[in-house]
Amino acid sequence: MEQFEQIDEQRSWSLAQRQAGKRISFVPTMGALHAGHASLIERAKSEGDVVVVSIFVNPTQFDNPDDLEAYPKQMERDWEVCQSLGVDAVFVPTKEAMFPNGYCTFVEVVGPLQESLCAVSRPGHFRGVCTVVQKLFNIVQPDCAIFGQKDLQQVLIIQRMVSDLSSPVEIIVAPTIREDDGLALSSRNQRLDDESRANAVSVPRGLELANQAFKAGERNSNKLMTAFANEVLMYENVDLDYADVVDLDGFVECEEANDHCILAVAVFFNGVRLIDHIHLGGPSLPVAIED
């Protein structure tokens, strides 16, 4: 497995692969790899001839410096995970390589996708994401890139960016991988203390309760959101960032839910922010629900 820190090295390698007729599939990550990332890498292997994984904790997408500082870093273990999964090249650029002194160009998707959920609660977040993803596409020159459905707003914004900028990259969305108790895997889960980890299962449980209410005929979005909120807010040290019913097309808030809507949520457990969502009327989440 190759490892590159310099942009030129990664670009030369990618160029050689393309000249040899290989299809490059790409998985951008911020490291602290878990089974969710592994599933994207497996998907990448089935979509291309060679797989590139990038590991870069992108400072421009953090609106909170403490969150950036606390983001888990475990490069040696990540390297081993990539090696064991048969990744061909790991791109680990330095911050200085990606954002040298004098850097002043940013990519921003505007419009409805930027007016709800994480775009509102984390100002500038998606501008940082789009800038780094487009820059990584320019360097890695992949044929396709795999993103997780867990970060649904992110992947919809990236699809919009790629389409609007005519980037020649196919965007593939892979399903959310969960723990046995239903909690979506996230690098941030490592930062949960034992109590918060136990309480965090209320996120998928609350989503599933709202889903069950929807399936039983409830269409009032406020009531669906309340079903979720009641479930998570019964614990201490929990803050609800948002719980919104939005339409899947434009992420516009819906007062009345329909089967083209998701319930998307962001919740702080003792300061650690977790996000998740459920497609209303869609498959159930694997959670235990008591009567």
Q: Which stretch binds ligand AMP (CB under 6 A): 83-91, 184-192, 232-240, 278-286?
A: 184-192
Shortest Cβ 172–ligand AMP spacing (Å): 10
Q: Which CA distances in Å does 217 have to 167, 176, 191, 209, 281?
A: 42, 26, 38, 13, 10
**111 Rama sector, left if φ>0, alpha if ψ -120 to 50, beta otherwise:** left
State which residue, 78 or 231, has the beta carbon closest to ligand AMP. 78
Q: Is 37 in the site for ligand AMP (CB under 6 A)?
A: yes
Q: Which residues of 11-41 are buried (b: 16+ CB within 10 A; e: fewer)?
A: bebbeebeeeeeebbbbbbbbbbbebbbbbb
What stretch of H or E contains 144? strand 144-148
Query: Distance between CA 26 and CA 141 in Å, rounded?
Result: 9
Point out the catalytic residue in the list 37, 260, 277, 279: 37
Residue closer to ligand AMP by CB (options 109, 177) is 177
Residues 280 and 207 sit within 8 Å (Cβ to Cβ): no
Could you say which of 10, 134, 187, 196 contacts ligand AMP (CB under 6 A)?
A: 187
User: Restricting to residues 80-109, which ones interact with ligand AMP according to CB under 6 A?
Assistant: none
In the list 10, 17, 29, 199, the residue contacting ligand AMP (rule: CB under 6 A) is: 29
125 binds ligand AMP (CB under 6 A): no
By CB under 6 A, residue 275 contacts ligand AMP: no
Q: Are strands 89-91 and 50-55 parallel, antiparallel or unpaired?
A: parallel
Parallel, antiparallel or unpaired: strands 238-247 and 170-174: unpaired
Q: How far apart are CB 282 and ligand AMP at their closest, in Å? A: 16
Q: How far is the CB of 158 from ligand AMP (least distance, A)?
A: 9
Closest to ligand AMP by CB, 150 or 197? 150
Residues 182 and 263: their CA atoms lie apart, in Å, by 16
> Does 148 participate in binding ligand AMP (rule CB under 6 A)?
yes
Report the distance separating Cα 279 and Cα 259, nearest Å: 8
The only residue of 133, 177, 257, 272 in contact with ligand AMP, by rule CB under 6 A: 177
The verdict on whether 34 is a catalytic residue reads no
Number of residues in contact with ligand AMP, rule: CB under 6 A?
Answer: 17
Identified binder of ligand AMP from the candidate list 43, 45, 135, 150, rule CB under 6 A: 150
Q: What residues have CB less than 8 Å from 286, skipping those under 6 apart?
A: 178, 180, 181, 182, 204
Mark residue 290 as left, alpha or beta (left: phi above 0; alpha: psi -120 to 50; beta: remaining): beta
Would you tell me which residues interact with ligand AMP (CB under 6 A)?
29-30, 36-37, 39-40, 147-148, 150-151, 174, 176-177, 184-187
**Residues with catalytic function:** 37
